[in-house]
Structure 1
Amino acid sequence: MGQSRSPLAVADLERVAARGWRGTEEEPLGDWLLRAGGGFTGRANTALVTGDPGRPLPEAVGAVAAWYRGRGLRPGAALPGAQARPADAAFAAAGWERGEDVLVLTAPLVPGSDDGVPVELSPTPDDGWLGAYRHLGNALPPTAPAVLGNAPVVVFAAVRPEPGAAPVAVARGVVTDDWLGVSAVTVAEDARRRGLATAVMAAVTRWGADHGARWVYLQVTASNAPARALYRRAGHVEHHRYHYRWAPD
């Protein structure tokens, strides 16, 4: 559907994605965006470094550090694409540690076909959904629901082995402008290789199309080979990469 290339530049797509996965507190630093969400996920608890912070870079690095330390959080920064290289060098010079690459993948939105797997869609995550989503393999902290639900057009997909049972596959979708963001795709270990990840993603893309999305984006760590293969089969291509920098403990 539509064009074969994303119509947005790196900084613009990052700002769209930031609106789709928000912390519970935000504050601008020039063009940069300071975000805090109780420590749940890097995306919700790092400074999004796009554009000009409105001050010399070493001073901006210090301002980021002070903002997060004032909230009891380890200071972090998300540095997307080539546009962030000068800032990345400033964070590195201050001794901030570099995380691994995260790939931002995009594709024209093509609603997935219904293969008969029943997928529940809800505007809020219930306890079963929250229990099934394993962020980096870990159970969710108490601040997670506030971050996950902090979007005006959001859906939570779940596959349950039977009505009322705990989900064995989940995903989250959010529509911002004409973009669908897909995240939190998780399948229980004993339910893998049954097409459930494809099923929840297909349901979320159908929902996104119904809500006006024309494009889809998602993020995946460079080391997550199975997820990258899944998304590649679904037609997603790399738009850009970002990485985090974390202040010394």
Structure 2
Amino acid sequence: MHLTVFDPTTIAPALLRVEDPLSLRIEESFLNATATREQMMYDGWLIRWNNGHMLRTRCVNALGPGQGTLDARLGFCARWYARHGMKTTVRISPFSQPIELDAALALRGFEAVDDRRMMAADLSHPPEMPDTGLHFELVDRERFAREIGRRLGVPEQYSESNVAQLLQLPMDAMPLLAMHRRRCVGGVLVVLDDTLAGIYDLVVDPNTRGLGIGRSLLASAMGAAVAHGAQHAVLQVAASNTPARNLYCQYGFQDRFAYWYRRAPDNFAG
């Protein structure tokens, strides 16, 4: 997987330190929706080592300050990930503990990669559905995961992990496929978590981009969320994905906070 290296000091300070209840609830919901069977807690850190292609399911989330030293926890993680053939990767968000974690990892040679934004929209005024002639099907989770995997070109070994993760997702979920003349041209997953609706895996077939399918998928997801009592829709997107971010802003989404990952150097042993 290619991950873009970047400098976190370029991120607006307002996206780095947030304390409002909604942002904290969004972070909790994100962790719930991306839960995997291959995870455990160690000294305040949530460690995940799923074999899928998504970095969020094979990284450390530093949820608490812990009792031991930072080096002791990193050493444990290095040994654990090496055991599973993975590189130690730590997700950094405004809620990471301790608060100086990002700087401490940088001093140890961890690269900052995959700059992302968590965005949210108020659903008190849901958008109208654009007329694109699409038909939306609510399908089972396994079919959705396989269809989206094919659209993304995900290798088979990763696709199986993605299917397994979606099947064990604890919350209610609505997997939607966009169909045009009986052909799947995109999809989106809506995960319900109390008054929040997480929008994940919004994918458009590369051969049909530019036809408004992404808009239709987003509007459909937001409408489904409202129908099930959600008050806010949330999603995450690469900070550099300007076309997607512009689309989301048109539908009322605004940045809530930034997050990224710190990837260990090749020779890191803790």
TM-score (norm 2): 0.80
Unaligned runs of 5+ residues in structure 2 are 1-18
> One-letter code of the match for 1:113?
E
Amino acid at match of 1:212: G
Tell me how many residue pairs correspond in the alignment: 239
1:65-104 to structure 2, matched below 5 A, reads 65-81=78-94, 83=96, 85-104=99-118
Give the corresponding residue for 1:186.
203
Q: Which residue of 1 aligns with 2:161?
A: 143
- Take 2:110 and 2:148, find their aligned partners in 1: how far apart are those partners? 35
- CA change 1:213–1:73 in 2 (3 A) is same
Q: Any conservation in 2 of the 1:50–1:79 contact (CA below 8 Å)?
A: no
Aligned equivalents of 1:8, 1:66: Cα separation in 2: 35
Of 147, 153, 177 in structure 1, the residue corresponding to residue 172 of structure 2 is 153
Q: 1:36 to 1:211 in 2, by over 3 A?
A: farther
Structure 1 residue 139 displacement after superposition: 4.6
Cα distance in 2 for partners of 1:112, 1:99 equals: 33
Shifted more, 8-17 versus 232-241: the winner is 8-17
Aligned-CA RMSD value? 2.3
Please name the residue that 1:23 is paired with: 36
For 1:62, give the aligned amino acid. G
Higher helix share: 2
Structure 1 gaps, min length 5 = 1-5
Checking the alignment, whether the CA contact within 8 Å between 1:10 and 1:80 is kept in structure 2 is no
Tell me the equivalent position of 1:199: 216
Partner AA of 1:217 in structure 2: V
1:157 Cα offset (Å): 1.4
Q: 1:228 aligns with which of 219, 229, 245?
A: 245
Identity %: 24
Aligned residue among 113, 116, 122 for 2:128: 113
Cα deviation 1:52-103 (Å, max 9, x = unaligned)? 2332222222222223222222211110027554111222222222103101
Q: Distance in 2 between matches of 1:35 and 1:161?
A: 37
TM-score of the two chains, using structure 1 as the length reference: 0.86
Alpha carbons of 1:55 and 1:96: their partners in 2 closer, same or farther (altered >3 Å)?
same
Q: Provide the residue aligned with 2:7 in structure 1.
A: none
